[in-house]
Amino acid sequence: MQDNALPRGRRTAAVLGAVLTLAALGPGSPAHAAGYGTPSLSLSASYLSGAVGATGDPTVSVTVAQRGADAGALAVTVTRSSRTSVATTGDVTVSGTGATRTVAVAARGRGYTDLTVQVTGADGRKAATTLHYAASASVRFPSDTRYLTGSSDASAAVDAGGGYAIVADDESNTLRLYNRSQSGGPVRTWDFGAQAGVTKEIDIEAAARVGDTVYWTGSLGNNKDGVYKPDRTTVFTTKVSGSGAATTLTYGSSYGRLRDDLVAWDEANGGRYGFADGTADGRAPKRIDGFNVEGLEFAPGSSTTAYLGFRAPLAPAVPGGKALLVPVTNIDKVLGSGARAAFGAPVELDLGGLSIRDIRRNASNQYLIVAGSWAADDNSDPHALYSWDGDPAHAPVKRADLPTTDPGGWEAVVDVPDLDVPGARAQLITDDGSADLYGDGTDAKDLDHPEWQKSRATWFTVGG
């Protein structure tokens, strides 16, 4: 026996121990597997929403790691779905290499499912986590539709350039920057409520941009129960720097007496529109004779006169009445120095008995008007899209009847293309706050997770 050889008994025990170690690691395990750490994975979001038949639904990133192993050697799979009528494991795609992978789900049905996402380490050990997934139903024009997640009550939008838009929510004071071509959450958010001196929702319903200034206005009306809430009478401005994904906003100034100015102006002119009654205690805003502002845009060629577009009242306040625009002729001074608002001659537009839900102008003074019911918060009543040349003596022209079979109510138009160009398209956004998106009877605004809350943005051909 050589000097460095083990005694026979000890040599047999060492060989047996090595065999047992390899057996514990499993067939095909690397000899150095005992040095690997526990595999891990984390999700960029634990909640994800999609839609049946959607294009470009949001995805989730999965970050994987294992000490001692190349991340590219780790396998990521989805091993279980708690409700296969919504999505099976075969409806989930995992792509990418290295430490970060992407999980995408193609929904097959409306509802909720929990998906088990698993990583398998280089030594065969596994770790798993749960992705909570919700799918809404298919909608019309799915290839032209994107979903803005993070909130469900989109109420106003302005173009930020570079394919991005700033979108307001009437249930909060948060402004959100979205990529208009992709479904998913906001790139940036801002809440200027404290700077505007409010503690409750402003009920932001309309916006207009001139240069680097965006004007935002609350509905100016009572709440749904007819109770006066002073924060809802707020008008404020933000300053825009940069564009596209690099857009930033800073707070400008605010004004809280525009509702009072409107009531005083109407009273001084014989109470033609009944603003005093529309704002009275106990008067709900969404009545044919109520008081509710949902549109804001500048008059042709002006940066100082802005039209307020009314959802209510109609003019006159009877079925078939006209939609009302009231020009604020010194909006720059109202927000710049706190001057009392001055008003020009009102404009009454025939929108087939519908009222103004949004109004937007381009540099050529072509307007698009989203017209809808003064009453309904969804698409149970007709909605239509009109163009207008800005001349009070000229009637608007209906461009399209908007689809009303899908959840939500058409609420905002981002910008206006050249309406003389055939095939030109405009993007409209819905307020889905009162919609039961996932079939469980829950309004979208009441969902527990913001990733499941969403509004729908759809492109429509309006040119030519």
SS (H, E, C) 26-53: CCCCCCCHHHCCCCEEEECCCEEEEECC
Q: For residue 186, what are its two tokens?
A: 């906001």
Residue with tokens 């930033």: 248
> What string of pLDDT tens digits covers the 464 residues of the chain?
344 444 444 333 333 333 323 333 344 444 445 689 999 999 999 999 999 999 999 999 999 999 999 999 999 999 999 999 999 999 999 999 999 999 999 999 999 999 999 999 999 999 999 999 999 999 999 999 999 999 999 999 999 999 999 999 999 999 999 999 999 999 999 999 999 999 999 999 999 999 999 999 999 999 999 999 999 999 999 999 999 999 999 999 999 999 999 999 999 999 999 999 999 999 999 999 999 999 999 999 999 999 999 999 999 999 999 999 999 999 999 999 999 999 999 999 999 999 999 999 999 999 999 999 998 666 678 999 999 999 999 999 999 999 999 999 999 999 999 999 999 999 999 999 999 999 999 999 999 999 999 999 999 999 98
CA distance 144 to 166: 19
* Cβ-based neighbour number of residue 159 at 10 Å: 18
Instruction: Considering the chain, tell me which residue range(s) the CATH 2.60.40.1080 domain(s) occupy.
Output: 40-136
- Please compute, for residue 224, the number of CA atoms within 13 A of its CA located in the half-sphere on the CB side: 7
Instruction: Considering the chain, tell me which residue range(s) the CATH 2.120.10 domain(s) occupy.
Output: 142-461
Looking at residue 184, what DSSP letter applies?
B
Q: For residue 370, what are its two tokens?
A: 């989203």
Number of H helices, E strands in the chain: 4, 28
Architecture of the domain defined by 142-461: 6 Propeller (2.120)
CA distance 150 to 144: 20
Q: Does domain 40-136 have CATH number 3.10.450.50?
A: no
Model pLDDT, residue 439: 97
CA distance 421 to 21: 74
Q: For residue 235, what are its two tokens?
A: 């008008």
CA distance 50 to 386: 31
CA distance 383 to 323: 13
Q: How many residues does the chain have?
A: 464
**Strands 384-388 and 367-372, bridge-based pairing:** antiparallel
